[in-house]
């Protein structure tokens, strides 16, 4: 009897065999362990993403939703409210609008590489990817620097789930609550003394002449911190892992850094850190011979759609020349990741600097510790040996 | 399934059939029509799926949202009266046979 358990540590480490079984044998699967349906084929996921009226986000989008988030963030609101909220932030996050970050990100990456001078190995997650993303977010939101480590630690904890109890544990909820009060503190400061940063603009924004609700601002800022810090560094870490595991690809990028953006897209397809999100049905839906009821949740397994042989030939091959148009690494449709340009920019510059300094690196541990999470997939630690 | 014809900048015609509800951006990226990039994933957050819609179909489309209007000001090739973002156009029977021309550049 096939079981699909997104809480199992073995699944955190390697979800891809289970995904293949789902796609081939159970394309619309009721997972007892998750208490929801699972879509695993590319076409089904895309259909769901395109049809937000049926596949609603308003009941939460995390597989294990955090208390109070549903209905109060971009990712957990449906159009038209969603579109109005998103428009307030989106313009500050287009590729053109982010040009001013290129040099700061480069300087940050170089600084953290300088700190590694003389080391024979280093933890890519602790000493590189998370450092860069925290610095970047603190710069972008103009946050007080002394909170860096604590914000990062809480962001990592709040995305996790407990493999034993198959839900968020007290430590995860506590981290989330810490982050919401951190956000509330920031908001109060910005209200009293607005700057021209992205957060200030959002906090003082109005829709149809009305200020945003306090909870909406607080939950959205909390989510921006979580995604900006943990989702971005999670992806940078899997990208680093891919280049450690595929030396030919790494050498090609070191020789020709102009190919880094293509490799980023392939890693987003091959193993995005954003593996699974959920939607809630607003009506009954028939799919692959199953009837799903209004009110049921459906997990959209982006990580599986990205390995769907019906869409991507030889999907288990990591090929930086693939140019995987339409991959689900950032989700898709109205709720596609808000930070796509920021993520691409940060990865490109960081890896330009990394590969210039260390064209060769290798994994130290054959088995990696993975973040326990029903949503996300990235290594907790990635020790790399450098020449 | 509704049919869409993409005319690439060099004049090549690329007819594609796509499921109702899928966007014209998705129809292009999933069928190897390279003149459309769709960098933001279809959230109306960039302007790399810019197309010029054939005049005969322009009136059949819902007008652009405020966000699309703003993004259309950021296109890499010139914005014209029939410029639209193809992620905001969903295939449906009303626009079966729609023709869109692709600009010279998207980014």
Q: Which two tokens stand for residue A132?
A: 């860069």
* pLDDT at A226 > cutoff 90: yes
Phi, psi of A369 (to 5 degrees): -80, 125
Q: Which CATH class is domain B3-101?
A: alpha beta
pLDDT at B97: 97
The rounded distance, in Å, linking the Cα atoms of A343 and A337 is 10
**Cβ–Cβ below 8 Å for A336 and B45:** yes
| Mean pLDDT of the region B65-69 | 92
pLDDT bracket for residue A130 (50, 70, 90): very high
Distance from CA of B4 to the nearest CA of A (A): 18
The rounded distance, in Å, linking the Cα atoms of B88 and B62 is 9
**pLDDT tens, A234-269?**
999 999 999 999 999 999 999 999 999 999 999 999
DSSP H helical ranges for A72-147: 81-90, 102-114, 124, 130-141
> Is beta strand B3-7 parallel, antiparallel or unpaired with respect to B98-101?
parallel
**pLDDT tens, A162-220?**
999 999 999 999 999 999 999 999 999 999 999 888 888 888 888 888 888 889 999 99
Nearest Cα residue to A293 out of A305, A301, A285:
A285
The verdict on residue A4 lying in a domain is no
% of chain A surpassing 70 pLDDT = 100
Are A377 and A277 within 8 A, CB to CB? no
Domain ranges across chain B: 3-101
Cα dist from A45 to A40, A167, B1, B91, whole Å: 7, 24, 18, 17
Give exposure, A219-253, as e/b (b: 16+ Cβ within 10 Å): bbbbbbbbbbbbbbbbbbbbbbbbbbebeebbebb
What contacts 24+ positions apart, CB below 8 Å, involve A362-369?
Answer: A362/A244, A362/A247, A363/A241, A363/A244, A363/A245, A364/A121, A367/A13, A368/A13, A368/A241
Nearest Cα residue to A322 out of A234, A238, A249:
A249
Q: Which two tokens stand for residue A134?
A: 């925290």
Q: Which residues of A touch B70 (CB under 8 A)?
A: 87, 91
Mean of the per-residue pLDDT values of chain B = 95
Counting one residue from A and one from B, how many pairs have CB atoms under 8 Å apart?
77
Q: Which residues of A touch B23 (CB under 8 A)?
A: 50
| Mean pLDDT of the region A136-160 | 93
What range does the domain containing A334 cover? 9-386
Give exposure, A28-38, as e/b (b: 16+ Cβ within 10 Å): bbebeebebbb
Nearest Cα residue to A109 out of A260, A247, A248:
A260
**pLDDT tens, A11-62?**
999 999 999 999 999 999 999 999 999 999 999 999 999 999 999 999 999 9
pLDDT at A36: 98
**Cβ–Cβ below 8 Å for B45 and A90:** yes
**Cβ–Cβ below 8 Å for B46 and A334:** no
**Omega before residue A198 within 30° of 0, cis:** no
| Mean pLDDT of the region A75-81 | 93
pLDDT at A210: 83
pLDDT at A205: 85
* pLDDT at A387 > cutoff 80: no
Burial tier of B59 (Cβ tally within 10 Å: 0-12, 13-18, 19+): exposed
CATH, residue A159: 1.10.630.10
**pLDDT tens, A286-298?**
999 999 999 999 9
Distance from CA of A326 to the nearest CA of B (A): 6
Are A334 and B42 within 8 A, CB to CB? yes
3-state secondary structure A17-78: HHHHHHHHHCCEEEECCCCEEEECCHHHHHHHHHCCCCEECCCCCCCCCCCCCCCCCHHHCC
pLDDT at A202: 87
Distance from CA of B86 to the nearest CA of A (A): 12
Among A residues 13-52, those touching chain B with beta carbons less than 8 Å apart:
43, 46-47, 49-51
- Count of C-beta atoms within a 10 Å radius of residue A266: 24
Domain count, chain A: 1
The rounded distance, in Å, linking the Cα atoms of A203 and A142 is 14
Phi, psi of B84 (to 5 degrees): -145, 165
Mean of the per-residue pLDDT values of chain A = 95
Distance from CA of A79 to the nearest CA of B (A): 11
Q: Which two tokens stand for residue A302?
A: 């982006």
Instruction: Mutation target for A interface from B16, B23, B42: give the one with most A CBs within 10 A.
Output: B42
% of chain B surpassing 90 pLDDT = 96
Q: Note the residue count of chain A.
A: 387
Indicate yes or no: pTM above 0.90: yes
ipTM over cut 0.90? yes
Are A385 and A121 within 8 A, CB to CB? yes
């Amino acid at each position: 009897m096939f079981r699909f358990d997104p809480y199992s540590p073995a699944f955190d480490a390697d979800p891809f065999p289970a995904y293949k079984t789902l796609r081939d044998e159970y394309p619309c699967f009721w997972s007892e362990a998750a208490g929801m349906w699972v879509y695993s084929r590319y076409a089904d996921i895309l259909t769901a993403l395109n049809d937000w009226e049926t596949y609603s986000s308003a009941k939460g989008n995390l597989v294990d939703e955090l208390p109070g988030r549903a209905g109060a963030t971009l990712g957990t609101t449906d159009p038209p409210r969603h579109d109005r909220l998103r428009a307030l932030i989106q313009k500050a996050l287009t590729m053109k609008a982010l040009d001013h970050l290129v040099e700061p990100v480069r300087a940050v990456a170089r600084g953290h590489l300088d700190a590694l001078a003389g080391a024979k190995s280093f933890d890519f997650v602790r000493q590189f990817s998370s450092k860069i993303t925290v610095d970047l977010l603190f710069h972008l939101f103009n946050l007080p620097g002394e909170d860096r480590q604590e914000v990062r630690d809480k962001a990592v904890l709040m995305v996790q789930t407990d493999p034993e109890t198959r839900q968020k544990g007290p430590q995860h909820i506590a981290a989330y609550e810490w982050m919401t009060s951190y956000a509330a503190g920031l908001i109060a400061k910005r209200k009293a003394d607005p700057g021209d940063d992205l957060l200030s603009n959002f906090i003082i924004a109005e829709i149809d002449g009305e200020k945003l609700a306090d909870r909406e601002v607080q939950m959205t800022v909390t989510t921006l911190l979580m995604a900006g810090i943990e989702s971005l560094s999670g992806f940078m870490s899997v990208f680093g892992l891919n280049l450690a595991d595929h030396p030919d690809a790494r050498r090609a990028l070191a020789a020709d850094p102009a190919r880094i953006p293509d490799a980023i897209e392939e890693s987003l397809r091959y193993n995005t850190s954003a593996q699974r999100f959920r939607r809630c049905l607003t009506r009954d839906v028939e799919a692959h011979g199953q009837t799903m009821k209004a009110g049921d949740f459906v997990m959209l397994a982006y990580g599986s759609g990205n390995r769907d042989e019906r869409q991507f030939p030889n999907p288990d091959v990591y090929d930086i020349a693939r140019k995987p148009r339409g991959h689900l690494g950032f989700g898709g449709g109205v709720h596609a990741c808000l930070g796509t340009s920021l993520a691409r920019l940060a990865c490109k510059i960081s890896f330009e600097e990394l590969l210039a300094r260390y064209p060769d690196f290798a994994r130290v541990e054959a088995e990696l510790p993975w973040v326990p999470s029903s949503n996300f997939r990235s290594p907790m630690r990635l020790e790399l040996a450098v020449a | 399934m509704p049919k869409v014809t993409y005319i690439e900048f060099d004049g090549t015609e690329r007819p594609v059939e796509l499921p109702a509800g899928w966007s014209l951006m998705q129809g292009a990226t999933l069928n190897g029509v390279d003149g459309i990039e769709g960098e933001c994933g279809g959230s109306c957050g960039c302007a790399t799926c810019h197309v010029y819609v054939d005049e005969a179909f322009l009136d059949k489309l819902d007008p652009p949202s405020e966000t699309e209007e703003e993004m259309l000001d950021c296109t890499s090739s010139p914005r014209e009266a029939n410029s639209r973002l193809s992620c905001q156009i969903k295939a449906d029977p009303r626009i079966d046979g729609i023709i869109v021309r692709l600009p010279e550049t998207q980014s």
